[in-house]
Amino acid sequence: MDKYKTLTLALLLLLATAVVHNANANSLDQNRVYKYSLAGFEVWVEYPFEAYPNQTITLNVTIKAWTDLIVNWTVIELYTFNNVTREYTMLNSLVYVSQPQSLLGGGLLNETSYEIKLPDYAANLLYGKMILKWTIKGTEESTVYEREPIFIMGYLRNPELERLRNEVTELKEENADLKENITDLNNTLTDILNNLTDVQKRYEGELSGTKSVVAILAISTVFFVATTAYLFMRKPKEYW
Protein backbone atom coordinates (compact mmCIF):
# COMPACT_ATOMS: atom_id res chain seq x y z
CA MET A 1 0.00 0.00 0.00
CA ASP A 2 2.85 2.41 0.86
CA LYS A 3 4.41 1.59 -2.48
CA TYR A 4 1.26 2.65 -4.30
CA LYS A 5 0.93 5.81 -2.22
CA THR A 6 4.51 6.75 -3.07
CA LEU A 7 3.90 6.05 -6.73
CA THR A 8 0.72 8.12 -6.68
CA LEU A 9 2.48 11.06 -5.06
CA ALA A 10 5.35 10.87 -7.52
CA LEU A 11 2.95 10.78 -10.45
CA LEU A 12 0.99 13.74 -9.18
CA LEU A 13 4.19 15.74 -8.73
CA LEU A 14 5.31 14.84 -12.23
CA LEU A 15 1.90 15.84 -13.57
CA ALA A 16 2.00 19.16 -11.75
CA THR A 17 5.41 19.86 -13.25
CA ALA A 18 4.16 18.95 -16.70
CA VAL A 19 1.12 21.19 -16.32
CA VAL A 20 3.26 24.14 -15.20
CA HIS A 21 5.66 23.79 -18.12
CA ASN A 22 2.83 23.28 -20.58
CA ALA A 23 0.29 25.80 -19.31
CA ASN A 24 -0.14 27.20 -22.80
CA ALA A 25 -0.66 23.82 -24.42
CA ASN A 26 -4.41 23.33 -23.93
CA SER A 27 -5.39 21.73 -27.23
CA LEU A 28 -6.90 18.28 -27.04
CA ASP A 29 -5.43 17.56 -30.46
CA GLN A 30 -1.84 18.07 -29.33
CA ASN A 31 0.08 14.81 -28.96
CA ARG A 32 3.13 14.05 -26.88
CA VAL A 33 5.84 11.46 -27.38
CA TYR A 34 7.51 9.54 -24.58
CA LYS A 35 10.84 7.98 -25.55
CA TYR A 36 12.64 5.36 -23.51
CA SER A 37 16.16 4.55 -24.64
CA LEU A 38 18.75 2.24 -23.10
CA ALA A 39 21.52 -0.06 -24.34
CA GLY A 40 20.78 0.28 -28.05
CA PHE A 41 17.04 -0.20 -27.54
CA GLU A 42 14.51 2.61 -28.01
CA VAL A 43 10.71 2.64 -27.77
CA TRP A 44 8.42 5.58 -28.59
CA VAL A 45 4.86 6.06 -27.42
CA GLU A 46 2.80 8.87 -28.89
CA TYR A 47 -0.40 9.89 -27.09
CA PRO A 48 -2.69 12.89 -26.51
CA PHE A 49 -1.64 14.95 -23.52
CA GLU A 50 -5.22 15.81 -22.58
CA ALA A 51 -8.44 13.84 -22.85
CA TYR A 52 -11.89 13.43 -21.35
CA PRO A 53 -13.38 10.40 -19.60
CA ASN A 54 -15.43 8.24 -21.99
CA GLN A 55 -13.30 9.49 -24.89
CA THR A 56 -11.46 7.27 -27.38
CA ILE A 57 -7.78 8.12 -27.70
CA THR A 58 -5.08 6.83 -30.06
CA LEU A 59 -1.69 5.51 -28.98
CA ASN A 60 1.12 4.90 -31.45
CA VAL A 61 4.03 2.60 -30.51
CA THR A 62 7.34 2.21 -32.35
CA ILE A 63 10.61 0.43 -31.52
CA LYS A 64 14.03 1.22 -32.95
CA ALA A 65 17.29 -0.70 -32.54
CA TRP A 66 20.59 1.15 -32.46
CA THR A 67 22.50 -2.12 -32.43
CA ASP A 68 21.78 -5.71 -33.31
CA LEU A 69 19.35 -7.06 -30.75
CA ILE A 70 16.37 -9.27 -30.06
CA VAL A 71 13.14 -7.72 -28.76
CA ASN A 72 11.80 -10.42 -26.45
CA TRP A 73 8.60 -8.66 -25.47
CA THR A 74 7.09 -5.23 -25.13
CA VAL A 75 3.90 -4.61 -23.18
CA ILE A 76 2.37 -1.25 -22.26
CA GLU A 77 -0.06 -1.14 -19.36
CA LEU A 78 -2.34 1.87 -18.97
CA TYR A 79 -3.52 3.11 -15.58
CA THR A 80 -5.89 5.81 -14.40
CA PHE A 81 -7.28 7.07 -11.14
CA ASN A 82 -10.62 5.39 -10.45
CA ASN A 83 -13.12 8.02 -9.33
CA VAL A 84 -15.25 5.31 -7.71
CA THR A 85 -12.72 3.26 -5.74
CA ARG A 86 -10.32 6.20 -5.21
CA GLU A 87 -7.42 4.01 -6.34
CA TYR A 88 -5.36 3.65 -9.49
CA THR A 89 -6.70 0.98 -11.82
CA MET A 90 -5.23 -0.67 -14.89
CA LEU A 91 -7.60 -0.02 -17.77
CA ASN A 92 -5.72 -1.72 -20.61
CA SER A 93 -2.71 -3.86 -21.46
CA LEU A 94 -1.26 -3.44 -24.94
CA VAL A 95 0.94 -6.30 -26.13
CA TYR A 96 3.16 -4.79 -28.78
CA VAL A 97 5.70 -7.62 -29.03
CA SER A 98 4.72 -11.05 -27.74
CA GLN A 99 7.36 -13.21 -29.48
CA PRO A 100 11.08 -12.54 -29.91
CA GLN A 101 11.93 -10.47 -32.97
CA SER A 102 15.39 -9.71 -34.29
CA LEU A 103 16.37 -6.20 -35.30
CA LEU A 104 19.57 -5.00 -36.93
CA GLY A 105 21.17 -1.72 -35.89
CA GLY A 106 19.07 1.13 -37.31
CA GLY A 107 16.09 -1.15 -37.84
CA LEU A 108 12.51 -0.29 -36.86
CA LEU A 109 9.47 -2.29 -35.90
CA ASN A 110 6.33 -1.16 -37.65
CA GLU A 111 4.43 1.60 -35.89
CA THR A 112 1.22 0.23 -34.39
CA SER A 113 -1.83 2.31 -33.47
CA TYR A 114 -4.17 1.39 -30.65
CA GLU A 115 -7.63 2.86 -30.08
CA ILE A 116 -8.29 3.11 -26.34
CA LYS A 117 -11.72 3.90 -24.90
CA LEU A 118 -11.31 5.69 -21.59
CA PRO A 119 -13.82 4.58 -18.95
CA ASP A 120 -16.36 6.87 -17.31
CA TYR A 121 -14.72 6.41 -13.93
CA ALA A 122 -11.34 7.70 -15.18
CA ALA A 123 -10.18 10.86 -13.42
CA ASN A 124 -7.15 13.08 -12.83
CA LEU A 125 -4.53 11.49 -15.08
CA LEU A 126 -3.36 8.59 -17.19
CA TYR A 127 0.01 6.96 -16.87
CA GLY A 128 1.70 4.11 -18.62
CA LYS A 129 3.98 1.34 -17.50
CA MET A 130 6.24 -0.42 -20.00
CA ILE A 131 7.26 -4.03 -19.46
CA LEU A 132 10.33 -4.52 -21.63
CA LYS A 133 12.78 -7.28 -22.30
CA TRP A 134 15.45 -7.23 -25.00
CA THR A 135 18.72 -9.01 -25.66
CA ILE A 136 21.88 -7.46 -27.07
CA LYS A 137 23.65 -9.85 -29.41
CA GLY A 138 27.31 -10.17 -28.51
CA THR A 139 30.28 -11.84 -30.18
CA GLU A 140 30.77 -14.14 -27.23
CA GLU A 141 27.68 -13.83 -25.05
CA SER A 142 24.40 -11.93 -25.07
CA THR A 143 23.23 -9.42 -22.51
CA VAL A 144 19.61 -9.47 -21.41
CA TYR A 145 17.85 -6.32 -20.19
CA GLU A 146 14.51 -6.13 -18.37
CA ARG A 147 13.03 -2.78 -17.45
CA GLU A 148 9.63 -1.40 -16.33
CA PRO A 149 9.70 2.37 -16.84
CA ILE A 150 6.67 4.44 -15.84
CA PHE A 151 5.65 7.62 -17.65
CA ILE A 152 2.90 10.21 -17.41
CA MET A 153 0.61 9.96 -20.40
CA GLY A 154 -1.80 12.79 -19.91
CA TYR A 155 -4.20 14.82 -17.89
CA LEU A 156 -7.88 13.91 -17.76
CA ARG A 157 -10.16 16.91 -17.95
CA ASN A 158 -13.30 17.09 -15.81
CA PRO A 159 -16.39 18.18 -17.81
CA GLU A 160 -18.41 18.98 -14.68
CA LEU A 161 -15.62 21.07 -13.19
CA GLU A 162 -15.11 22.92 -16.47
CA ARG A 163 -18.86 23.61 -16.67
CA LEU A 164 -18.80 25.05 -13.15
CA ARG A 165 -15.75 27.15 -13.98
CA ASN A 166 -17.51 28.52 -17.05
CA GLU A 167 -20.58 29.31 -14.96
CA VAL A 168 -18.40 31.12 -12.43
CA THR A 169 -16.81 33.14 -15.23
CA GLU A 170 -20.25 34.00 -16.64
CA LEU A 171 -21.50 34.99 -13.18
CA LYS A 172 -18.46 37.21 -12.67
CA GLU A 173 -19.16 38.91 -15.99
CA GLU A 174 -22.83 39.35 -15.09
CA ASN A 175 -21.84 40.73 -11.70
CA ALA A 176 -19.48 43.21 -13.35
CA ASP A 177 -22.28 44.29 -15.71
CA LEU A 178 -24.68 44.70 -12.79
CA LYS A 179 -22.14 46.79 -10.89
CA GLU A 180 -21.70 48.99 -13.94
CA ASN A 181 -25.48 49.34 -14.31
CA ILE A 182 -25.83 50.21 -10.62
CA THR A 183 -23.13 52.85 -10.99
CA ASP A 184 -24.95 54.33 -14.01
CA LEU A 185 -28.25 54.30 -12.09
CA ASN A 186 -26.63 56.00 -9.11
CA ASN A 187 -25.18 58.68 -11.37
CA THR A 188 -28.57 59.19 -13.04
CA LEU A 189 -30.32 59.38 -9.67
CA THR A 190 -27.78 61.94 -8.47
CA ASP A 191 -28.39 64.07 -11.57
CA ILE A 192 -32.16 63.86 -11.03
CA LEU A 193 -31.83 64.87 -7.36
CA ASN A 194 -29.61 67.80 -8.34
CA ASN A 195 -32.15 68.93 -10.94
CA LEU A 196 -34.97 68.62 -8.41
CA THR A 197 -33.00 70.75 -5.95
CA ASP A 198 -32.47 73.47 -8.59
CA VAL A 199 -36.16 73.41 -9.53
CA GLN A 200 -37.19 73.57 -5.88
CA LYS A 201 -34.96 76.58 -5.21
CA ARG A 202 -36.20 78.40 -8.31
CA TYR A 203 -39.86 77.86 -7.57
CA GLU A 204 -39.44 78.69 -3.91
CA GLY A 205 -38.27 82.18 -4.99
CA GLU A 206 -41.08 82.51 -7.48
CA LEU A 207 -43.68 81.38 -4.93
CA SER A 208 -42.31 83.86 -2.42
CA GLY A 209 -42.84 86.70 -4.93
CA THR A 210 -46.32 85.44 -5.76
CA LYS A 211 -47.29 85.46 -2.08
CA SER A 212 -46.24 89.12 -1.81
CA VAL A 213 -48.36 90.09 -4.84
CA VAL A 214 -51.36 88.22 -3.47
CA ALA A 215 -51.00 89.99 -0.12
CA ILE A 216 -50.87 93.42 -1.82
CA LEU A 217 -53.92 92.59 -3.92
CA ALA A 218 -55.78 91.42 -0.83
CA ILE A 219 -54.99 94.63 1.08
CA SER A 220 -55.97 96.77 -1.91
CA THR A 221 -59.23 94.88 -2.27
CA VAL A 222 -60.10 95.33 1.41
CA PHE A 223 -59.26 99.02 1.23
CA PHE A 224 -61.42 99.46 -1.87
CA VAL A 225 -64.37 97.67 -0.29
CA ALA A 226 -64.06 99.68 2.90
CA THR A 227 -63.88 102.97 0.99
CA THR A 228 -66.90 102.08 -1.09
CA ALA A 229 -68.91 101.18 1.99
CA TYR A 230 -67.94 104.44 3.67
CA LEU A 231 -68.90 106.52 0.69
CA PHE A 232 -72.15 104.69 0.38
CA MET A 233 -73.00 105.39 3.98
CA ARG A 234 -72.03 109.06 3.63
CA LYS A 235 -74.26 109.56 0.61
CA PRO A 236 -76.73 112.47 1.24
CA LYS A 237 -80.31 111.44 1.94
CA GLU A 238 -82.98 112.55 -0.46
CA TYR A 239 -86.18 114.07 0.87
CA TRP A 240 -89.39 113.72 -0.92
pLDDT in tens, 146-177: 999 999 988 888 766 666 667 677 777 778 88
Delimit the domains of the chain by residue range. 2-157, 159-240
pLDDT in tens, 95-119: 999 999 999 999 999 999 999 999 9
126 vs 24, more confident: 126
> What element of type H or E holds 174?
helix 159-233
Integer Cα distance of 95 and 76 in angstroms: 7
Among the ranges given (8-17, 29-38, 218-227), the one the predictor scored with the smallest mean pLDDT:
8-17
pLDDT at 203: 65
pLDDT in tens, 177-214: 878 888 877 888 787 778 777 766 776 665 566 655 55
Question: 2-157, superfamily in CATH?
Answer: Immunoglobulins (2.60.40.10)
Going from the C-alpha of 120 to that of each of 6, 66, 81, 165, the distances in angstroms are: 25, 40, 11, 21
pLDDT in tens, 65-101: 999 999 999 999 999 999 888 899 999 999 999 999 9
